[in-house]
Amino acid sequence: MAIIEAHGIRKSYGSLLALHDVDLAVEEGEILALIGPSGSGKSTLLRVLDLIEPANEGELSIFGIDVVAERGRWLDLRRRMGMLFQRPIVFNASVYDNVAMGLRYRRASGDEIDRRVNEALEAVGLSRYTRSRATDLSGGEQQRVALSRVLVTDPEVLFLDEPTANLDPTSTATIEEIVMRLNREAGMTVLISTHDLAQGQRLAHRVGVMIEGTIAQTGPSSDVFRAPKDRRIARFVGVQNIIPGRVVSRTEGLTTVEAGGRQILSATPPPADKVEIVIRGEDVSLHRREPMHEEAENLFPAMLTRIEPAAPFVNVTVHCGCDLVALVTARRADALGLREGVGVWISLQAKAVHLIPLTGH
């Protein structure tokens, strides 16, 4: 059952349109990552879904309750959810009082607050700071205080707004671990926004890509990475090669596309006559001589035109009618003796060649 269901959400601040046409369903117990560039509306969407601020238009139901019609129940619904923000936020009080805030708002008894706060601080490894002033802690510690402050209230849905964007790798790992465990053991539904693609992939069952105020694509992260629906998504998920082409024929499950005088085979059904070919750099294999037992459908000679280090990889640009960028490990580039001006062979599986309709740009 969908625990959150949103349709046609629109939100603007004055003349600035932050969200439009947002459709999203979040299943109970899943981890959904919203990925997208800064300013694409991720934080705003999380705030709208956590009922921190109202949308201007659209339908929204949370826990099966139509929240647009029932404004009177927002406080109760909000108390079943929790949100952790990007910037570590602590209040000018002791660590204990910071973590107790949500429980005090809910009028929990003193004994219960005592027990749960101490438990929560234990869990994030901050017991020794219980009586310290929260503002004196480091950024990573403050974020852990903020996380325990949310978790003591036992939220059914947890929103994380770029929770680790400002943190060191150790604090990031701690927070990711806690979130994954809560999801696994307590079945907590988690919505996390991040501009870190790897974090999205690591944590989430499903990702939604936000571009310019709307959700452009949702699905398992592998789909979004390998088969982006359009050029903007492809760009955001780090596709190196987006090449315009023309569909020539379609036979036996393979589409032939002509680009730069070269015919390339793709396993994607043609979405239009004029297309763009989307190829991830790591899917392009380089060889020094013609491979004998190569099973890739696409195999052709090319001229190496540029080598660019991008540790631990190198970006190798080759020309074969059109320019293609291949991602090669630095070690392999050495072993192959790659340098500008040499002739190489490239192989490419038809499955790795994704097609999107060509749009004016």
**By CB under 8 A, is residue 231 in contact with other proteins?**
no
Q: Which of 19, 33, 117, 146 binds other proteins (CB under 8 A)?
A: 146
**By CB under 8 A, is residue 110 in contact with other proteins?**
no
DSSP string of 42-67, one letter each residue: HHHHHHHHTTSS--SEEEEEETTEET
**Beta carbon of residue 235, minimum distance to other proteins (angstroms, whole number):** 30
Q: What would the two tokens of residue 288 be? A: 């020094």
Closest to other proteins by CB, 102 vs 228, is 102
Where does this chain touch other proteins (CB under 8 A) — which range of 82-90, 262-270, 288-296, 314-322?
Answer: 82-90
**By CB under 8 A, is residue 106 in contact with other proteins?**
yes
Distance CA 211, CA 230 (A): 11
**By CB under 8 A, is residue 102 in contact with other proteins?**
yes
Q: Which of 10, 20, 73, 79 binds other proteins (CB under 8 A)?
A: 79
CA angle 300, 354, 303 (to 5 degrees): 25
Q: Where are the beta strands (DSSP E) in 268-322?
A: 274-279, 285-287, 298-310, 313-319
Q: What would the two tokens of residue 185 be? A: 């053991």
Q: What would the two tokens of residue 8 be? A: 């046609």
Closest to other proteins by CB, 12 vs 315, is 12
Q: Which of 7, 39, 64, 105 binds other proteins (CB under 8 A)?
A: 105
Q: Map residue 357 onto helix, strand or coil.
A: strand
Buried b (16+ CB within 10 A) or exposed e, 213-224: bbbbbbeebeeb
Q: How far is CA 91 from CA 105, 173, 313, in A?
A: 15, 24, 44
**By CB under 8 A, is residue 299 in contact with other proteins?**
no
Where does this chain touch other proteins (CB under 8 A) — which range of 145-153, 171-179, 228-236, 241-249?
Answer: 145-153
**By CB under 8 A, is residue 75 in contact with other proteins?**
yes
Binding to other proteins (CB under 8 A): which residues in 23-62? 47, 50, 52
CB 164 within 8 A of CB 172: yes
CB 245 within 8 A of CB 214: no
**By CB under 8 A, is residue 141 in contact with other proteins?**
no
CA angle 233, 215, 43 (to 5 degrees): 105
Whether omega before 357 lies within 30 degrees of 0, making that bond cis, reads no
**By CB under 8 A, is residue 101 in contact with other proteins?**
yes
**C-alpha closest to that of 306 among 316, 295, 296:** 316
Q: Identify the sign of the CA torsion 271, 276, 277, 282.
A: negative
**By CB under 8 A, is residue 92 in contact with other proteins?**
yes
**By CB under 8 A, is residue 91 in contact with other proteins?**
yes
**Beta carbon of residue 79, minimum distance to other proteins (angstroms, whole number):** 4
Q: Which of 143, 153, 285, 347 binds other proteins (CB under 8 A)?
A: 153
Closest to other proteins by CB, 7 vs 104, is 104
**Beta carbon of residue 81, minimum distance to other proteins (angstroms, whole number):** 8
**Beta carbon of residue 126, minimum distance to other proteins (angstroms, whole number):** 18
Binding site for other proteins (CB under 8 A): 47, 50, 52, 75, 78-79, 81-83, 85, 87, 89, 91-92, 101-102, 105-106, 146, 149-150, 153, 159
